[in-house]
Amino acid sequence: MIRRRPRGPRLPAWTATLTWKAAVFITVMCCALAALLGMLVHVSVTNQTVGQARERALDRLTEVTERYEAGDRLGSGAGVDPEGLPAPLRELALSGERGTMVAAHESRPTMWAAGPADGGRAIAVQVDYAQGARTIDGLDRAILGSSVLAIGATLLVGAFAVTRVTRRLHQTAQVARRISAGDLDARVNDPRTKDPARRQDEVAAVAGALDTMASSLQGKLLSEQRFTADVAHELRTPLTGLHAAAELLEPGRPTELVRDRVAALRTLTEDLLEISRLDAKSERVDLDAHQLAPLAERVVRGSGEGTELVVVRDVCVETDRRRLERVLGNLVANALKHGRAPVVVTVDGPVVTVRDHGDGYPGYLVEHGPQRFRTEGTSKGHGLGLTIALGQAAVLGARLTFSNAPDGGAVATLRLPFDECPSEDEADGSESTT
C-alpha cells in the first residue's frame, strides 16, 4: 500500500518569482556573513578586554599576596576568603593554583583573581569590570546596527539589480506569449542586440535568439500562406472547367464518380482559399444585432436529420450572421460526420454548445486544437472544417474550445462576446426543443 505524504500549505504565487528568490538569497547570505564577521569581532574584542582585565587582576593579586606575607594591610577590594568569591575560583585557589573569573558582585560585573593562602584559605582581589562589560555591550550593539544597515543597503541594491534583469525577462516572456498567440510581428528589440561590438549578457542573448526565431518563423509561415493561396487560386480555373465538362457527360455511375470528386476538389480549394484569407487576417466582419436562437435553428434545419436544438436562454448578440452560421455549420457537419447521432445544439445565453454521442475528439485536438490535414484513423476529410470554424470564431471575437463529455461524446463550446441589445427579447427560464 502506497501512502502519499500530505502536502504542506501552498505558498503564494509571488514567492515563485526570481526577484523574491534573489531577495531571500541575498538576505540569507548577508545575515550569514554579518553573523560570521560579528562573531569574529566580538570574540576578538572580548578576548582582548577580558585579557587586559585578567592581567590587571593578577598583577593586583601578586601585590596583595606580597603584602599579606609581609603582614601589611591588604587594602580595599582584597581579602582572605572574601564574601562573594565564586565557589569554582575558591576551589581552584585551595588546590594551590591561581586563577581569574568574571562574576557579578553586588550587581556589578567584577573580575576576580584568587590564589592560595596559609591555613587552607584563599586570598582574592576584585577588579571592577563594568567598563569592559559596557565596551563589549556597545560593540555588540554597533555590530548589530551596522549589520542591519549593511543588509538593508545590500538588499536594496541587489533587488534593484535583479529587478532590472527580471524586467527584461518579463518583457521577453510577454513577447514569446504574443508570438505563440499568433502575433508574429512581436519583437523584444533589446538595444543590447543592435550593436555587434557591444558585449551581450545572457538575457540579451535570449532576446536576440527569440527575435531571430520569430523572424524566421514569420518568413516560413508567410511563404507557406502565399504558396497555399497561390495553389488554391490557380486550381479554381481548371476545376471550374472540369466541373463544366463533368456536367456534359452522359448520366451513369462513372459520371457520378467524376462529379463527386470534382465537387470535393472544389470544396477543398474554397476551404484553402478561406484559410489563406484567415491567415492573412484580411477578413472584415459585418456586425449587426441578431437573436441567437433563430440563427442556430436555421443551421440545425439545414443540417438534416439527426440534429436537435435546445434553447435554454435566447439572447440578442452583435455578430456577423454569415460567419456565425459558417462556424456552427462546420461544427454540426463535423459532429454528424465523425460522431454519432443525436447531435444536440444548445443555446444558453451567448454560449452555444454542439455535442454528439460518438467516441469524442482525439487527444491531440483537445489539447492543441484542430490541425490542418490531420484526421484520426480512417476518417475521411482533411481536417479543415474545424480549422475554419476556429479561425472564423476568432474573427468574430468569440472563443471556441473543444472537449469530451464525461459520459462520452465530443463537445464544442462557442462563447460569443455579449452586450445587451436594445431589441433583446429574452424568455428567461423557458426551454424549447426542435
| 207/184: higher pLDDT | 207
Hey, what amino acid is at 208?
G
Inform me whether the pLDDT recorded for 424 exceeds 50.
Answer: no
Which percentage of the chain shows pLDDT scores above 70? Answer: 89
Inform me whether the pLDDT recorded for 1 exceeds 60.
Answer: no
Helix (H, G, I), strand (E, B) or coil at 118: coil
Q: What pLDDT is attached to residue 381? A: 47
pLDDT tens digits, 348-377: 999 999 999 888 888 888 887 787 665 554
Q: What pLDDT is attached to residue 433? A: 47
d(CA 164, CA 105): 58
* Structural contact between residues 399 and 393, judged by C-beta atoms closer than 8 angstroms: yes
Inform me whether the pLDDT recorded for 45 exceeds 60.
Answer: yes
* Average pLDDT for the chain: 82
Averaging pLDDT over each range in 105-114, 287-296, 379-388, which range is the top one?
287-296
Inform me whether the pLDDT recorded for 105 exceeds 60.
Answer: yes
Q: What pLDDT is attached to residue 10? A: 64
Tally of CA atoms within 13 A in the half-sphere of 188 that contains its CB: 27
* Structural contact between residues 312 and 277, judged by C-beta atoms closer than 8 angstroms: no
Region 239-248: mean pLDDT is 78
Residue 288's alpha-carbon distances to 283, 294, 346, 381, in angstroms, are 16, 14, 22, 33
Q: Which of 37-46, 52-61, 222-231 has the lowest mean pLDDT?
A: 222-231
What length does the chain have? 434
Q: What pLDDT is attached to residue 346? A: 93
pLDDT tens digits, 294-322: 999 999 998 878 899 999 999 999 988 99
DSSP lists the bridge partners of residue 313 as 348
Inform me whether the pLDDT recorded for 280 exceeds 80.
Answer: no
Q: What pLDDT is attached to residue 434? A: 47
Inform me whether the pLDDT recorded for 425 exceeds 70.
Answer: no
Q: Which of 396, 392, 305, 309 lies closest to 353, judged by CA?
A: 309
pLDDT tens digits, 21-34: 787 888 888 888 88
Q: What pLDDT is attached to residue 269? A: 75
Burial bucket for residue 431 (CB in 10 Å: 0-12, 13-18, 19+): exposed
Q: Which of 236-240, 262-266, 298-302, 380-384 has the lowest mean pLDDT?
A: 380-384
Q: Using pLDDT thresholds of 50, 70 and 90, give the confidence band for residue 14.
A: low
Region 112-137: mean pLDDT is 87
Q: What pLDDT is attached to residue 375? A: 57
Inform me whether the pLDDT recorded for 168 exceeds 60.
Answer: yes
Q: Using pLDDT thresholds of 50, 70 and 90, give the confidence band for residue 159.
A: confident
Hey, what amino acid is at 21?
K
DSSP label at residue 81: S
CB proximity list for 288: less than 8 A, separation 6 or greater: 318, 319, 320, 321
Helix (H, G, I), strand (E, B) or coil at 179: helix
d(CA 176, CA 358): 37
Q: Using pLDDT thresholds of 50, 70 and 90, give the confidence band for residue 429.
A: very low
